[in-house]
Homo-oligomer: A and B are copies of this chain.
């Protein structure tokens, strides 16, 4: 038995810190080209210690990498007004609100109040709609201002690029053609937008949650301009995992584990849950394993902030 649990297992464990470092090189280079310091304004309107920690962490990371950060601690009843002020304030490049605020559907109204031109998190209705429709620019037909994508899904895409899952031989926008990807989690914040983004880039995506499996795909030969969704009746993890090159899982809590024996030999496995969705034996099956992604997500926040700052027309007249 000892012999069968081999000591020479081939799996490459890739840490988020390594990927974040590579992305930061790009962000830093682009920041220098801007010739000014992008300013992020954060809004904290609750007593949640997790939100406070996230705010402190944003402050540290932005400043460390040459961005400016201002934290506003406000009464939650004043928040919408404050956001409206920031929307038109020329000194503000990006806005981030620390949720939950009311922890009801009212929070969505606040999300919708943030101007799409200052939304570093990519949660504005117009940005979300662009993403699902595979519209990649804000200023069609000029196509100079790239749309902003939500941080966590974009972080996962950047991780897949780093892992060479995107094939640069293929045309931009089709570089996942031929890839089969299972995404376990279909939340509105990460799982569903991620499945849509991957399918828009050419992959066949199996989106899995407790209600079942949906396929997101642009169809044979990628003849459709954007993905379509269909229910996969009778499908479960077994069907999805046996044909997937890539498995991405983000189920909250520490109960859920992806069944390793169903994963294809040599698959690429990425965990975006704050807990570990894969058991340690995943390394005996996967070719590449990414155990966490948080450090990449924060770099994407900086990248989005930089893009918002670059998109501002005033840049044309600044020195």
Binding site for B on A (CB under 8 A): 6, 8-12, 14, 162-164, 167-171, 174, 177-179, 202, 204, 220-223, 243, 245, 264-268, 284-285, 287-288
Contacts and interface: CB of A to CB of B under 8 A. Distances in A.
Number of copies: 2
A202 B12 CA distance: 13
B221 A170 contact: no
Given A6-B223, A10-B222, A169 B174 contact: no
Contacts of A162: 169
B223 A9 contact: yes
Given A12-B171, A169-B164, A179-B266, A284 B245 contact: no
Q: Which 4 A-B pairs have the closest CB atoms?
A: A178-B266, A177-B287, A6-B223, A10-B222
Contact of A287 (B12, B178, B243, B285): B178
Given A164-B168, A168-B164, A178 B264 contact: yes
A170 B288 contact: yes
B223 A12 contact: no
A202 B10 contact: yes
Q: Indicate the member of A9, A10, A171, A285 with the most B CB atoms within 10 Å.
A: A10
Contact of A221 (B9, B167, B264, B268): B9
A164 B167 contact: yes
Mostly helix, strand, loop or mixed at chain A's interface? loop
25 contacts: A6-B223, A9-B221, A10-B170, A10-B174, A10-B202, A10-B221, A12-B169, A162-B169, A163-B167, A164-B164, A164-B167, A164-B168, A167-B287, A170-B287, A170-B288, A174-B287, A178-B266, A202-B287, A204-B265, A220-B284, A220-B285, A221-B284, A221-B285, A243-B243, A245-B245
A235 to B, nearest CB: 16
A285 B221 CA distance: 6
A169 B10 CA distance: 12
Contacts of A202: 10, 266, 287
A68 B130 CA distance: 60
A31 B90 CA distance: 59
Nearest to A288: B169
A247 B260 CA distance: 28
Contacts of A10: 170-171, 174, 177, 202, 221-223
Nearest to A12: B170
